């Protein structure tokens, strides 16, 4: 592509959501009748953007290439002679493309209206109540709404940190400081801060509690975790330290 | 319970609820027969707030009522949330959301086909923000996961029901009067 | 800003934040010099609320002020949370539920092994909420009890059968698409 052309097309390709978006832009720019798209010309224009996309190593480049191929296929089919007798039944090779463009445009319009609504509604702030207000709702519960996505993500996290045992049915009762250090780090991978009080019910015995506490002290010493308390006797908060490693 | 007491109960519920208060949930909470509707009580409360110059108001959203701050104070509240300010949705996320809102339940393939690009990343954003949810599987072959909008979606855009979505224009309308000027 | 305006700003901030509003955070929000203290404004607001019989009040907590419902309405609010259509779970319960959903039927030992901690307490919660059930025993030695999800679980997540759960492969597709494409 010549430098002149490059300047002509120095439009940030990232601003197009995809090939359909770019096509709509080209159609609008040249005031093209969407039912009679000059395929040869638009293919040429489109390809210049695709070249640019490749140069810019855009992640969407593949989708643009695919559309370019479709355009070229249509171009070829438009060149093929149509047999007189079939004339009425033959579909314009551009029909599918036109329908796709119109369908996409409908939703693009809606997304613009949604954006307006988002702006308007964003002026109001919803009342965000305390976790449970001053009402005594079972304290350990009520964190966040749980949806399928949360189940999926949580399970995946757990599996990443877990090695399937080679042989089954071996359960060591022993818990070491090292084990509990891993346990604490796992917790911190899942949420930014962990309340110490929330850990207690998870621990099997007083011995494990003591070992866990030693693990915390060890991690604090190594700067792997930090502990915060807003005031005396307040909740102990555990969070990642500067040298946190997992 | 007299009307004033009912008003106070509704107010307390509005202050305490993170989700819209619907008539049915309200009736479950008071657990007794009353001869006024929630709508009447909300109206009376709204008037109280207006008269006494409160900084908040009640809006009707997602099939219920919710307490929100008036828009006059957004500048101060924004400063309070300065660091964790709400991120607006990207164009890709808005497009994906529009398609889900109209075509739900819908598969990822259908969304990709309409947008002409892969929609994994906007889908993930929308799932994380709980504006959409995964709901069962498609009947067809492939049995793909199905996506739907959530109650949070309605709340986020201030819609009372999904029917309040802007109208999807007919294809003919798109052609007839359009800024695209298809000459 | 005059005193009444300040009162409204404070009220809006109290409505919008679940965290205590401290004097310093308040000053950041208004971003201008004033000659009254937050304490004075809070006092005036509290009196307003008391006079007009509001169902909420302002309390002083660690480091600031918070808007909460009055105790008189606890009973209604409790009912409201009990009837909530949304599922709220602690991290521990969510972890445990995800393991049971994907690995069922599964023993407590297997759950503990994956989570790295004892899961008695979240198991109890999930049983109470009827999201899981105990059905049958493990074939192996020890004949441990087996946990499974319930019909209520399927209903909540909009599944017809447990086979409709998203597969691990589908999760990865959605979450790591960008990273995977490098491989």
- State mean pLDDT over A148-153: 86
Residue A133 pLDDT exceeds 50: no
β-pair partners for B147 = B106, B134
Kindly report the nearest CA distance between residue B183 and chain C, in angstroms: 41
Q: Are B94 and A129 a contacting pair at CB < 8 A?
A: no
Residue B142's pLDDT is what? 82
Kindly report the nearest CA distance between residue A161 and chain B, in angstroms: 22
Residue B71's pLDDT is what? 92
Q: Of A136, C72, C50, A130, whose CA–CA distance to B12 is shortest?
A: C72
Residue A80 pLDDT exceeds 90: no
Burial B26-64 (b: 16+ CB within 10 A, else e): beebbeeeeeeebeebbebbeeebeeeebbbbbbebbbb
Q: Are B76 and C25 a contacting pair at CB < 8 A?
A: no
Closest chain C residue by Cα to residue A232 = C62
pTM: 0.72
Partners of C16 on chain A (C-beta within 8 Å) are 125-128
Q: Are B134 and A147 a contacting pair at CB < 8 A?
A: yes
Touching C (3+ Cβ pairs <8 A), the chains are A, B
pLDDT in tens, B105-161: 999 999 999 999 989 999 999 998 889 999 989 988 888 999 999 988 998 998 999
pLDDT in tens, C68-119: 899 899 889 888 887 776 777 888 899 999 999 999 999 999 999 999 899 9
pLDDT in tens, A175-205: 778 888 888 888 888 777 888 777 776 776 6
Partners of B88 on chain A (C-beta within 8 Å) are 115, 118-119, 122
Closest residue to C12, CB basis, from B4, B55, B134? B55
pLDDT in tens, A22-42: 999 999 888 888 888 899 999
Residue B96's pLDDT is what? 96
Residue A112 pLDDT exceeds 80: yes
pLDDT in tens, C24-72: 889 989 888 888 999 999 999 999 999 999 999 998 887 789 898 998 9
- State mean pLDDT over A211-234: 79
Residue C170 pLDDT exceeds 90: no
Partners of C170 on chain B (C-beta within 8 Å) are 145
- State mean pLDDT over B12-29: 90
Residue A143's pLDDT is what? 45
Closest residue to A234, CB basis, from C12, C62, C94? C62
Partners of C12 on chain B (C-beta within 8 Å) are 55-56, 69-70, 73, 76-77
pLDDT in tens, C124-159: 989 988 999 999 888 877 788 999 999 999 988 888
Closest chain A residue by Cα to residue C92 = A202
Residue C181 — pLDDT band, cuts 50, 70, 90?
Answer: very low
pLDDT above 90: percentage of residues in chain C: 48
Residue A85 pLDDT exceeds 60: no
Q: How far apart are CA B80 and CA C21, in angstroms?
A: 9
Residue C103's pLDDT is what? 93
Residue C100's pLDDT is what? 96
- State mean pLDDT over B25-46: 92
Q: Of C166, B108, B107, B146, whose CA–CA distance to A149 is shortest?
A: C166
Partners of C173 on chain B (C-beta within 8 Å) are 120
Closest residue to A102, CB basis, from B73, B116, B174? B174
- B126 and B132 Cβ atoms separated by less than 8 Å: yes
Q: Does A62 or B36 have the greater pLDDT score?
A: B36
| Count of helix runs (H) and strand runs (E) in chain C | 9, 6
Residue where the block lists tokens 């005594």:
A136
Closest residue to B69, CB basis, from A33, A121, A124? A124
Residue A226 pLDDT exceeds 70: yes
Listed range (A11-15, A108-112, B179-183, C91-95) with the worst mean pLDDT: B179-183
Q: How far apart are CA B148 and CA B150, in angstroms?
A: 7
Q: Are C81 and A137 a contacting pair at CB < 8 A?
A: yes
């Amino acid at each position: 592509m010549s430098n002149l052309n490059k300047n002509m097309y120095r439009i940030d390709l990232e601003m197009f959501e995809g090939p359909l978006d770019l096509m709509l832009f080209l159609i609008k720019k040249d005031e093209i009748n969407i039912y009679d798209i000059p395929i040869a010309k638009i293919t040429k224009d489109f390809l210049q953007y695709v070249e640019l996309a490749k140069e810019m190593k855009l992640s969407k480049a593949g989708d643009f290439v695919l559309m370019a191929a479709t355009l070229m296929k249509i171009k070829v089919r438009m060149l093929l002679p149509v047999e007189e007798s079939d004339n009425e039944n033959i579909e314009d090779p551009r029909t599918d493309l036109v329908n796709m463009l119109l369908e996409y445009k409908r939703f693009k319009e809606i997304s613009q209206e949604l954006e307006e609504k988002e702006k308007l509604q964003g002026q109001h702030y919803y009342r965000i109540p305390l976790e449970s207000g001053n009402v005594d709702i079972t304290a350990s519960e009520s964190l966040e709404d749980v949806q399928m996505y949360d189940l999926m993500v949580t399970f995946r996290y757990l599996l990443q940190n877990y090695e399937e045992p080679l042989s089954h049915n071996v359960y060591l009762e022993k818990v070491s400081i090292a084990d509990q250090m891993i346990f604490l780090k796992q917790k911190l991978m899942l949420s930014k801060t962990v309340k110490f009080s929330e850990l207690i019910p998870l621990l099997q015995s007083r011995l494990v509690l003591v070992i866990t506490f030693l693990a915390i002290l060890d991690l604090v010493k190594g700067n792997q975790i930090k502990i915060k308390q807003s005031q005396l006797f307040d909740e102990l908060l555990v969070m990642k330290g500067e040298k946190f490693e997992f | 319970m007299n009307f004033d007491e009912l008003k106070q109960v509704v107010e307390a519920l509005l202050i305490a609820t993170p989700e819209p208060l619907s008539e049915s949930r309200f009736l479950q909470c008071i657990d007794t027969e009353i001869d006024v509707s929630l709508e009447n009580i909300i109206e009376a409360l709204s008037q109280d707030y207006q008269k006494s110059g409160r900084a908040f108001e009640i809006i009707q959203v997602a099939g219920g009522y919710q307490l929100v701050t008036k828009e006059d104070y957004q500048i101060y509240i924004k400063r309070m949330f300065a660091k964790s300010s709400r991120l607006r949705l990207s164009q890709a996320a808005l497009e994906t959301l529009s398609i889900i809102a109209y075509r739900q339940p819908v598969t990822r393939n259908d969304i990709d086909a309409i947008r002409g690009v892969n929609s994994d990343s906007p889908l993930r954003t929308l799932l994380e923000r709980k504006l959409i949810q995964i709901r069962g599987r498609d009947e067809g072959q492939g049995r793909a996961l199905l996506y739907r909008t959530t109650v949070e979606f309605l709340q986020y855009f201030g819609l009372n029901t999904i029917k309040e979505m802007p109208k999807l224009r007919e294809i003919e309308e798109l052609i007839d009067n359009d800024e695209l000027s298809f000459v």
